Amino acid sequence: PKFTWVDGVLVQAMQEGHWLYLESVHMCPSSVLDRLNPLLENHIEREIVLSECGTIDGKTRVVRAHTDFRLILGMDQEAGGTGAAEVSRAMRNRCVEVCFLPPAVDAFEM
């Protein structure tokens, strides 16, 4: 059998301008998250180099994100668990952090 590269949801979303939600990023190895850093930059041409898929005419494939592409990262700081790691400061500096707190107990009393 011959190895054939197949684009996954990340590449498809980048090319088609979709929003992609990645849940539980705190469970992801930092080496994988580091590959996403270029997509979170404020540059007009956000791109990712796909050296894993081999070369085409001697050139490494580069995928540029559609202008409508958005990457949304979700994590549960409280969940922790086996394999949970801290998301790097470099990654967090490229994001907007939103924290959802539980409602106050008396909010349900009328």
pLDDT tens, position by position, 21-68: 999 888 888 888 888 888 888 767 799 999 888 888 899 999 999 999
Beta bridge partners of 62: 49
Element (H, E) at 103: none
Least reliable range by pLDDT among 9-18, 44-53, 83-92: 83-92
pTM, 2 dp = 0.77
Which SS3 state, helix, strand or coil, does residue 56 take? strand
